Structure 1
Amino acid sequence: MFFLSKQHYIPRVMGYIHIAKHRDKEFIRAVLAPTQSQHKGNRMKISLFYALTLSALLTLIGCTNSINQTSQKISNPGAQQASAPALISREVLFGNPTRYQGRISPDGNKMSFRAPVDGVMNLWVGNLGDFNSAVPITHDTGRGIPTHFWSLDSQYVFFIQDKDGDENWHLHRIDIASGNIRDLTPYAGVQADQMHQNVNHPGTIIVGMNDRDAKWHDVYQVNVATGERTLLEQNNGYTKYTLDNNLQVRLAVKTAPDRSSQVFTKIKDKWRLWFEVPFLDSEPFNIIGFDKDNQGIYMLDTRERNTAALVYLLLGETTPKVIASDNKVDVSNVLLHPSSHEPLAYALNYIQPVWHAIGSTLQTPIKRLNSQLSGGSQVLAQTLDNSLWTVFTDQSNQSPIYKVFDTTSGELNNMFVTQPKVNDLPLSTMHGVVIPSRDDLELVSYLSLPLDADLDQDGKPERPSPLVLLVHGGPWARDVFGFDSTAQWLTNRGYSVLQVNFRASTGFGKDFFNAGNKEWAGAMHNDLIDAKKWAIEQGITTDDRVAIMGGSYGGYATLTGLTFTPEAFACGVDIVGPSNLVTLLDSIPPYWESFRQKFYEAVGDPTTEEGLALLKARSPITHVDKIVKPLLIGQGANDPRVKQAESDQIVNAMKNRDIPVTYVLYPDEGHGFSKPENNLSFFAVAEAFLGSCLGGRIEPIGDDFSNSSIEMIHGSEFISGLDEHMSESEE
């Protein structure tokens, strides 16, 4: 849900479910802010419906400006303009991309990517630059392959998979020569985590596994060919381990009773305290790794400064050397040499990311790269000699592109476009804006306007339009610039979209981050209200035509908006959002135990009388009787972060008070909706819901419910014609 990602290869979702953002940030639907050559990235069944007509859709959800009625057809307050662009199909925006997640092998000879096989995303491998040679190396028929990476000897491709969203990730490897696939973590209920490779030890991968104790990941060395594992370290309460270049476990981080982070170093098989990082400095503190000689470590550090700097610290010393820093934002990504582990470059991301070279070696290549790319960019893979990079770049108004960058010549060539069909469609432009909060914080935000409300797409509308406040998950994450399927969908339907980096978002320094401590439904919500006020003052929208929508923490923000400020929003869409902070913290996954004390400090401590009172007071369930505006809830039954009980309890509370609510459940999903069929069905419902509430345009559902697992748990009586179509589909 909102929580700190332990390591880069595992998707963490209520961390960052951005509903359906086609980006490689990297490892899908929600990961939290990465900190080195690691990246983050996301998406959202119904044999219930066949095609619905437009007239049926106009009354599908019954989202009225107040919900004292049960089912009511709403007039369209935002009458469609003659100049409105053609509708963009949901299938194009939310269906499978043509290709995605491009990688080059470490030896530079091959490429890999994800692409559909019979409608399911699978892994393909071919010779670099020759798509005719590419063949699928997996044939999954279920949820697909979410992410992959190469072994450093280029003999294997690794991928991870869970079961129906339960986040018990298993690590698999594929032998490129034979096609043999092996599960390297074949243990029931186990989650693979903290994976690590080293160029000096080919044929080996380090994996954390919690099979001994669900709370703690022990450190294993795994033979990639045979799957044989060797225990390197039994975890006795540590958050993270760091190995040196000899694959020796050398450092460990533990949360202290005062909620600081304690860094230990192993000396003669004994853990010795090296230094401490106070709680207020602990985000985004991160140990990146050892230097090539194992004499010191690179890390991100905010001690003695507000923003995270890239620093180097010799073992045994306590005063780090600053390598790179910025006064405005954190160092957000660090690019390491794949063989020497030397930092080569870093990114700073205020409105858009900009790469900066470290030292003279890459000064010219980085300048060339920045000059040739507009919008956001990431370096996702490198050859071992660092001569070739896979670069992911996306502008807001065209499909993301994977490119291959030659660091010697500066030549940048296209690898592939992820969604070529999108580029021929009427897309809106995203604009970075900075909104002042009531207490003078800078809220870096992103505004997207409908084409017919902003004819020249300069970010200044010719007329107001309905607005959707799209709230990111986390909250310990951030919104970023780039192509956003959800924003394009909404602007195409006639809505302005505002995405706000409220306090507690990452990347803007520790003061901004810590300003969100114990401010759920407090100052964090005030930031969203301030953003709404700003949008009205700028002529972007009007007070009575603003909806709030989000996933994970964004779902909580939606519930908060409809309970704490019941007249502020015309309606809300909550996707896997918690309704009760007490039960949320009581039900966190066991493998988050090492972070529990930090959650208590940031959200509220249920073990104290004062903390428990705060959690209850800031829980939407406590104020459910204040809801007077329409609400749509979507939930995955297997969500390990925000359990189904979070949605069940607020829906039941609303039912008991005769407050209308529509509740959609997906039995084969977890924290967010992964399968394209489920994504399409939910957005079809959400589109009708928003259309009846705000008056935007609606695309007929058509076959968007085909093969979806959607279950209408409650509220079908508030959706005109739904019961009839459900009955027809069951016959």
Structure 2
Amino acid sequence: MARASLKRALMASALLSISACGTTSGGGSAPTPAPLLPLQLLLAPATNVAPQVSPDGRWISFLRPVNGAMNLFVAPADSIGAARAVTTRTGRGLQPFDVSGNVLYRWTPDSRRLLFPQDANGDEKWNLHVVDIASREERNLTPIAGKEVSFLAFDASDPNLAAIAVKDRSPYFPDLYRLNLTTGERTLLLRNDRMLAIIPDHTLRPRVGLTIAPDGTLDLYRLTSAGEWTMLWDIGPDDAPAINATAYLQAWGVDRENRHLFLFDTEGRDLTALMALDMETGKRRVLAESAESDIAGVLYHPSTHALQAFATMWTRTAWHAVDASIAPDLARLAAVDRGDLKVLSRSADLSRWVVQYMRSDAPIAYYLYDRPSGRATPLFVGTPALADLALSPLHPYEVTTPDGLRFVSYYLLPPSSDRDGDGIPNTPQPTVVLVHGGPSDERAQWAYGPFVHWLANRGYTVLYVNYRGSAGFGKTFMNAQNMEWGGKMHDDVVQQVEWAIARRIAAPGRVAIMGGSYGGYEVLVAMTMTPERFACGIDLVGPSNLERFMPHWNVDRMAAVVGDPRTPEGRAFLRSRSPINFAANTRHPVLIGQGSNDSRVPKYQSDTVVTAMQRAGVPVVYAVYGDEGHGLLRPANTFSFWAIGEQFLARCLGGRAAAMGNAFDGSSVAIEAGIDYIPGLAAALKERK
């Protein structure tokens, strides 16, 4: 979740230094404005996303929209053009990624089926489905209404069996089951009334459990052969975020012998190291570490489960081989494309790899790498319609805060605004600050982002900001967020705005702020607690009341990071950091979007702050989606909200906006406040089909 903070007057001056990426020079003539590209082009769902190679190397799977709904496709690995759909979803479709960006579906070990989760209109009550790629026969393996089911592991000796976690008796403590992938039969492995998470080994035996103590300490336990939990490792509150990073980066691993658990650790160090933890004795040894940044990704052998490589990321991603046998492969792949490499999946024998290249100024490119020949063959790009557009690159810049924290953020300029190519626009530009969600499992990074290019095409500079608590910058930086929601986290954002104004990148008085989830919270903080700082704000599914928020948070972890809702002092502190209590101070327009089925930030969080802002006499536009959850997944809903958003920004900052036209066709949007603030909105909604 995105969080924000109160304003402290900071002077940017020499506190930030900039390192710009190269740009092309436009010469000395007056710039020609870039064509106004359709919203539906710039923000369209990727045509191809999340490719995976089957364990036997014969097939490539990926997701592609059919009539606007994401569905699974499968193609022979040597004939991607022969892909066919194996699911027939409509409406909201299948969700390709979880909230941390991890692919949600997977191949079964026999390479005959795909296993994927499905919820109900964004409520995150997942059931597990399986589809046979030959017959396209699909089955819901866990038809448990209103309960959360998650995949844990496949049985190494039987590809038809898997371990799953089911929160059927408690919303906090999952029970473990063995699941038959053909019949759907579930066999109880462990009835659990204590552990927040449980890790099985390759035989599906539950091995390690995790709890959080009231002081934020994270405890790992091992399950003995007698069925008792005994302490394995006591992890202090300052080092607990490393375990969270292990989870959201999917870095958990168990070795072939089922003896060691692989996970991140920061005990005695600031940057994460990957450790091997003996699940019997608790002894640990370092497998990988870096002096540059936290570990940003790991690569385990798909059959032996041994660590082969790890990634780091300061401004860009770099891979480091641990297993010398794949060092030539990583070097060869690094030379294929100018983008940052990521290995998405590999066949069981390592003969075939699916990789992606992330650029900041072009859609993601996917390749199939044939290891025996050393050849990388293009599969497709994520959004072919955007492949030939002239898009602006991201520029990284380094930030040093008044209390000595160092990190990286990025900015992007409108096309043709920087004629001499020095990374500074010829004149200061209206600017949108884009705040990522999370915050602790996300960061702004050098990547292709449809939203930044949409904003740039409309004539805005985009500050894509990190702040204390963003992932990847070390333990001290991560823990500096503690008790700073609505405090120094917001100061970090404001400091970067002041730097951009001082560098003549951003135009004074013409800066907006936009974000979702935690980023939406930061928007509300900015607009209510520093009401004169930003000209307007756009909040999507951001919480306004920290006293009542956090249905997905463990209360002990919340108490350590945000504030303790169980004590009078803690509740008073949370009130002091809740935008709802400062809404009367709002001075400038706000656009708020909300999904009715949001289980992370319930709708009342937006309802109440909208009402409070209306009482303050401030223009607030409130768009509600009855068929969405924590974010907008249906393309028609995405188009409708940002069609409103660009009209909102044009009125606020003076940028460009396309006519709304048919942007509302197929959308469920209901405008619960402020319809008259957006010229033509009421009329466009009446014409909706």
- Compute the TM-score of the two structures, normalised by the length of structure 2: 0.91
Q: Secondary structure at the match of 1:466?
A: strand
Residues 381-420 of structure 1: pairs in structure 2 closer than 5 A: 381-420=345-384
Deviates more, 1:655-664 or 1:628-637: 655-664
- 1:407-438 per-position Cα deviation (integer Å, ceiling 9, x unaligned): 34432221111111102223111121112222
The answer as to 2:586 corresponding to 1:627 is yes
Q: Which shows bigger deviation, 439-448 or 494-503? A: 439-448
**Map 1:529-544 → 2, pairs under 5 A:** 529-544=494-509
Matches within 5 A, 1:55-454: 83-147=32-96, 148-268=105-225, 269-285=227-243, 286=246, 288-454=252-418
The one-letter amino acid of 2:463's match is L
Give the % identical residues: 39
Shift of 1:727: 4.5
Q: Secondary structure at the match of 1:196?
A: strand
**Residue in 1 aligned with 2:451?**
486
1:144/1:153 CA distance change after superposition, 3 Å: same
1:473 is matched with: 437
Write the distance in 2 (CA, Å) between the matches of 1:271 and 1:509. Answer: 31
Distance 1:86 1:115, change over 3 A: same
Please tell me whether the aligned partners of residues 243 and 289 of structure 1 are also in contact (alpha carbons under 8 angstroms).
no
Contact 2:540 2:592 (8 Å CA) reproduced: yes
On the 8 A contact 1:86/1:426 being kept in 2, the answer is: no
3-state SS in 2 of match to 1:116:
strand
Alpha-carbon offset, residue 340 of structure 1: 0.6
> What SS is found at the alignment partner of 1:211?
coil
State which of 531, 546, 560 in structure 1 corresponds to 2:525.
560
Contact 2:198 2:207 in 1 (8 A): yes
1:547 and 2:512 equivalent?
yes
* Cα distance in structure 1, aligned partners of 2:347 and 2:242: 28
The answer as to whether partners of 1:162 and 1:168 remain within 8 angstroms in 2 is yes
Whether the aligned pair in 2 keeps the contact of 1:443 and 1:500 (CA below 8 Å) is: no
Structure-2 separation of matches of 1:386 and 1:458: 44
Which 10-residue stretch deviates more, 437-446 or 613-622? 437-446
One-letter identity of the residue aligned with 1:203: N
Give the match for residue 517 of structure 1: 482
Query: 3-state DSSP class of the match of 2:664?
Result: coil
Residue in 1 aligned with 2:461? 496
CA contact under 8 A between 1:306 and 1:327: conserved in structure 2? no
Is the contact made by 2:2 and 2:516 (CA closer than 8 Å) also made in structure 1? no
Q: Which residue of structure 1 aligns with residue 27 of structure 2?
A: none
Task: Tell me the distance in 2 between the aligned counterparts of 1:648 and 1:349.
Answer: 39
CA contact (8 A) 2:173 2:193 kept: yes
* Letter in structure 2 aligned against 1:351: T
TM-score, with length taken from structure 1: 0.86
Alpha-carbon contact 1:114-1:122 (below 8 Å) kept: yes
Q: Is the 8 A contact 1:88 1:425 kept in 2?
A: no
Structure 1, 440-449 or 662-671: larger mean CA deviation = 440-449
2 CA distance for matches of 1:532 and 1:198? 51
The 8 Å contact of residues 660 and 684 in structure 2, kept in 1 or not, is answered as no
Cα offsets for 1:463-496 (capped at 9, x unmatched)? 2111100000011121121110000000111101
Aligned residue number for residue 67 of structure 1: none
Aligned-partner Cα distance in 1 for 2:536–2:462: 15
- Contact 2:666–2:688 at 8 Å: present in 1 too? no
Shift of 1:171: 1.0
Aligned residues: 648
1:666 to 616, 625, 630: 625
Which of 614, 635, 651 is the aligned partner of 2:610?
A: 651
How much does 1:372 deviate?
2.6
1:614 aligns with 2:553: no
What CA distance in whole angstroms lies between the structure 1 residues aligned with 2:562 and 2:68? 41
Secondary structure of the equivalent of 1:258? Answer: coil
Instruction: Quote the Cα distance in structure 2 between the aligned partners of 1:560 and 1:495.
Output: 22
| Structure having greater relative contact order (Cα 8 Å, sep ≥ 6) | 1
2:663 to 684, 704, 712: 704
State the Cα deviation string for residues 616-674 of structure 1 (Å, max 9, x = none): 00111111111001111011111000010010001111223333211110110111100
**Alpha carbons 2:516, 2:539 under 8 Å: kept:** yes
- Residues 457 and 128 (structure 1), Cα distance of their counterparts in 2 relative to 1, 3 Å cut: farther
Partners of 1:578 and 1:642 within 8 A in 2: yes
- SS of 1:697's equivalent in the other structure is coil
Contact 1:438–1:530 (CA<8 Å) still a contact in 2? Answer: no
**Aligned-partner Cα distance in 2 for 1:2–1:243:** 31
CA distance in 2, matches of 1:2, 1:558: 9
Does the Cα contact within 8 Å between 1:471 and 1:557 map onto a contact in 2? yes
In the TM superposition, residue 721 of structure 1 has moved relative to its aligned partner by 3.4
Structure 1 residue runs without a partner (length 5+) = 4-13, 15-80
Structure 2 contact 435–514 (Cα < 8 Å) conserved: yes
One-letter amino acid matched to 1:583? R
Letter in 2 for 1:177: A
Distance in 1 separating the partners of 2:451 and 2:563: 32
Q: What SS class does the counterpart of residue 574 from structure 2 fall into?
A: helix
Q: Tell me by how many angstroms 1:363 deviates.
A: 1.5
Matched residue type, 1:498: L
Tell me how far 1:456 sits from its aligned partner.
Answer: 5.4
Q: 1:729 & 1:175 partners in 2: Cα distance?
A: 38
Do the aligned partners of residues 133 and 496 (structure 1) sit closer, same or farther apart at CA in structure 2, a change above 3 Å counting?
Answer: same
User: Are the aligned partners of 2:662 and 2:688 in contact in 1 as well (CA < 8 Å)?
Assistant: no
1: CA distance between counterparts of 2:67 and 2:501? Answer: 46
- Distance in 1, matches of 2:336 and 2:81, equals 28
For residues 223 and 518 of structure 2, the distance between their equivalents in structure 1, rounded to whole angstroms, comes to 38
